Amino acid sequence: MTESILTVAGLNANIEGQQVVEDVSFEMLPVGVTALLGRNGVGKTSTLRAIMGLIERSGEVTIAGERVDREPTHRIVQRGVGYVPEDREVFASLTVNENLRLAERDSAPNRQLIEELFPDLIARAGQLAGTLSGGQQQMVSLARALVNDNRVLLVDEPTKGLAPLIVMDVAKALERAAQTVPVLLVEQNLQVVRMLAEKAIVLEGGRVVYDGSAEELLGNEALTKELLGVA
């Protein structure tokens, strides 16, 4: 097996003095989708935000063998990390095209991939992102991460609050993206996890309690119920 693209060791994170991630360690698969799972409030989003340097953190974060945990967020991203935040966080007062232009770091951005995956966005290039539906905003958020050639994608609950039909569109887009870049996916929808993830990491109380095959976890109803509260 090749070296992990993203390694986290002893990661701790705080929000306003309260510890939200405690001594979390894991490695991402170098290809495909690694799912970061857990019940609500266990620290999944905080773990992604800590990796990105968006909240106060300590511990080691390594990308392609290089420590990045002392670097500011923009430098981490410039190393080839694409981030799709929870709740999309599109710039509502900018157009779809401006949201994409803002995200472009490469001299030759992957506009063709965006056109293939999200043709609806191209048709709405001049529309203000704040006037799009939730599903369309999620497409913008994903497109911003996919427009560059990244080494890893961190994707936080991309199907949250979306209609079932849109959920499948998002899942297919992620499946396509995962063919070229490894994805660390936080996701509550276990159907999507089953469809995409090979590896699963489960957090509880800010700590890792499971690190192994996604198929084995989700194939074991009792374990899934115990760790995730749902089957």
Cα–Cα distance, 72 to 91 (Å, whole number): 21
Q: Which of 150, 146, 141 is nearest to 175 (CA)?
A: 146
Which residues in 147-176 contact other proteins (CB under 8 A)? 148
**Are the beta carbons of 200 and 213 closer than 8 angstroms?**
yes
Q: Which of the ranges 18-26, 30-38, 77-85, 165-173 carries the binding residues for other proteins, by CB under 8 A?
A: 77-85
HEC states along 48-102?
Answer: HHHHHCCCEEEEEEEECCEECCCCCHHHHHHCCEEEECCCCCCCCCCEHHHHHHH
**Which region, left, alpha or beta, applies to residue 24 given φ > 0 means left and ψ of -120 to 50 means alpha?**
beta
CB of 62: closest distance to other proteins in angstroms?
A: 19
CB of 134: closest distance to other proteins in angstroms?
A: 17
Contact residue for other proteins among 2, 66, 70, 74 (CB under 8 A):
74
Which residues in 182-221 contact other proteins (CB under 8 A)? none
CB of 106: closest distance to other proteins in angstroms?
A: 10
Using the rule CB under 8 A, is 15 a contact of other proteins? no
Q: Which is nearer to other proteins, 77 or 227 (CB)?
A: 77
Phi (first) and psi of residue 39, to 5 degrees: -70, 170
Using the rule CB under 8 A, is 142 a contact of other proteins? no
Contact residue for other proteins among 91, 168, 194, 223 (CB under 8 A):
91
CB of 103: closest distance to other proteins in angstroms?
A: 5
Using the rule CB under 8 A, is 85 a contact of other proteins? yes
Cα–Cα distance, 180 to 176 (Å, whole number): 8
Q: Which is nearer to other proteins, 101 or 225 (CB)?
A: 101
Cα–Cα distance, 226 to 152 (Å, whole number): 30
Contact residue for other proteins among 22, 56, 71, 89 (CB under 8 A):
89
Measured in residues, the chain has a length of 231
- Please give the DSSP secondary-structure letter assigned to residue 125: T
CB of 29: closest distance to other proteins in angstroms?
A: 23
Chain residues binding other proteins by CB under 8 A are 52, 54, 72-74, 77-78, 83, 85, 89, 91-94, 98, 101-103, 105, 144, 148
